[in-house]
Amino acid sequence: MMRLLRLLKIIRVALRYGLDEIILSRERLQGVRALSLRLWFWRDLSRPRGERLRMALESLGPIFVKFGQVLSTRRDLLPPDIADELARLQDRVPPFPSHQVVATLEGVYGRSLKEVFREFDETPIASASVAQVHLAVLPDGREAAVKVLRPGIDRVIRHDVSLMHSAASLFQRLWSEAHRLKPHEVIDEIEKHLFDELDLMREAANASQLRRNFQGSPLLRIPEMYWDYCNAQALVMERMRGTQINQVATLRAQGVDIALLARNGVEIFFTQVFRDGFFHADMHPGNILVDEKGGYIALDFGIMGTLTDVDKAYLARNFLAFFRRDYRGVALAHVDAGWVPKETRVDEFEAAIRSVCEPIFDKPLKEISFGRLLLRLFQTSRRFNVEIQPQLVLLQKTLLNIEGLGRDLDPDLDLWRTAKPYLERWMSEQIGWRGLVRRLKEEAPQWATVFPQLPRLTHRALVDLQAQKTNEVWAQLLMEQRRQTNILLIVTALLAVLMGIVLFKIAS
């Protein structure tokens, strides 16, 4: 019954915001669309479709908001206007009652809340889709922020995800091109992100890793995790004080150098990506504070991106080729990475990439968008059946966020010029002589262990090889013996038959 009521609400909201008009926009469904427009004539469809979709998701509640947020990362699948609008989704969710917060925490710690914290403010300072945050003071006097999961949120997610799959199936029946968008796979990916965020120990570990990466850095501060108080349902961390980064007027009044702040944001991002291969992938203004010294404070570590050495090598080759306008090099980087089918003609792929990049490079550097460049490249790659790597899509989405944030702070920010020193240094470390030295240093401990054993290992390998050869010889001899035995048995059988025939004729 509950599922039916929820489904009816989804249908009502979809009709209210004209989502049926978006779904039925295909040419073969024009008749159905015309009928729908007459039946629901009372609706206001003057707003752009992306805005109406965003408003519908906000009306359906926190899980659908989170769905839209994660879906906005798949810009390789969405039209730009819808992706841009979904990226504006923010968690504006009413808090859940304080008695549920107390019950959850006392269930986690197995004792009264007064025994756990010296002080605990039952009024939340922030409330989002899957959790909300309260301020507290630990017994030793340290100020803390306590993040608590919404009760029963996992059940709500499973319920709504099931309805999303049902909607995806209907979508595939109504729209012939829906299979290319892989709606069920997208929903599975979103479900994974949602359930990853439900494990607050995972988020605490992400924060701890990022804090260690920037230990001692004046650019970025990460709250300390208070592990003795952390659990899958509750995360307790150092309380951070600062101003939200989008409150530019307040920051100026505090004497913060806004242009420097924008440049530092770019440096922080590229350091995370190209030095560490581990980056904060949810960098909207609600998750970024600025302290009194103009340093960044990052919050909410539920969604993090990672890059392997293979990913970094791919990016290194691509960026180096982009700087040189070597479009064949970009095409070959895709082929060598195995992301393009083997039968793809490199010259055709090269021509498609050139058509994407040449118009961009004819603009002033400060007008070039890294994120848009990657997006156009992904869209072009899709024509050649390239499997877009999820971690690179997440990188592209985060890069768009950083670009937008940086240019909101400083409209004259030249991202390419700001990023170029870090990219050049990183590429040198990856593919130049510095990269060779770094890899030699990384392998040196292993060599120090293996080198003294080389004589023994070499002797063992020779013995094993000799034993293998001996075994092969014996195996061949045995096979030869078996073959000769089989021949002998066949010959003996034939002789027996012939002898029997001869004896039979003599007897007769």
Q: What is the distance between the alpha carbons of residues 9 and 15, in angstroms, rounded to a whole number?
A: 10
Residue 299's nearest CA partner among 247, 227, 218, 237 is 237
Residue 243's nearest CA partner among 256, 231, 230 is 256
Residue 399's nearest CA partner among 425, 370, 423 is 370
Looking at residue 136, the DSSP 8-state letter turns out to be E
140 is catalytic: no
Looking at residue 145, the DSSP 8-state letter turns out to be E
Two tokens at 16?
């209210």
Residue with tokens 């049902």: 166
CB of 262 within 8 A of CB of 172?
no
Two tokens at 89?
């989704």
CA 175 to each of CA 34, 179, 183: distance values in angstroms, whole numbers, following the listed order: 16, 8, 11
Angle of helix 62-71 relative to helix 153-174, nearest 10 degrees? 60
Q: What is the separation, in whole angstroms, between the first and last Cα of the chain?
A: 96
In degrees to the nearest 10, what's the CA dihedral of 189, 195, 199, 202?
0
DSSP secondary structure letters along 363-405? S-GGG--HHHHHHHHHHHHHHTT----HHHHHHHHHHHHHHHH
Two tokens at 215?
């230990």
- For the beta carbon of residue 152, count every other beta carbon within 10 angstroms: 11
CA-based Rg of the chain, rounded to a whole angstrom?
32
> Which residue type occupies 198?
L
Q: What is the distance between the alpha carbons of residues 402 and 396, in angstroms, rounded to a whole number?
A: 10
- Cβ neighbors of 74 (< 8 A, separation 6 or more) are 83, 186, 189, 393
Give me the catalytic one of 160, 282, 300, 414. Answer: 282
- Cβ neighbors of 156 (< 8 A, separation 6 or more) are 63, 150
Residue with tokens 């870090």: 422
Looking at residue 224, the DSSP 8-state letter turns out to be P
Q: Which parts of 408-498 are beta strand (E)?
A: none
Q: Which residues are catalytic?
A: 282
